[in-house]
Amino acid sequence: MTKREEIIQAAAELFASVGYRATSYAAIAEKLDMHRNALQHYIPSKPKLAHEVAWAPFKNGAFLAPDVAPAGGAATRGTAAVLSIVRHVGALYVSDVAARASMRLMEERAIIPADLPVPFRPWLEPIAGHLREAIDDGDVDSDVDVDDLAWRIVSSFAGARLVGEMLDEVDAFPEKALRTTEDLLRAHRPHG
Task: Specify the DSSP class assigned to residue 62.
Answer: G
Query: Contact at 8 Å (CB) between 158 and 174?
Result: no
Rounded to a whole number of angstroms, the distance between the first and last alpha carbons of the chain is 57
Residue 70 pLDDT exceeds 50 = no
The arithmetic mean of pLDDT across residues 177-182, rounded, is 97
Given this model, what pLDDT does residue 119 score? 85
Q: Which residues contact 78 (CB under 8 A, 6 or more apart)?
A: 130, 131, 133, 134, 136, 137, 139, 140
Who has greater pLDDT, 67 or 178? 178
Alpha carbons 7 and 11: distance in angstroms, whole number = 6
- Output the pTM of the full model: 0.86
Cα separation values, 187 from 144, 161, 167, 184, Å = 11, 22, 28, 5
Fill in the amino acid letter for 64.
Answer: L
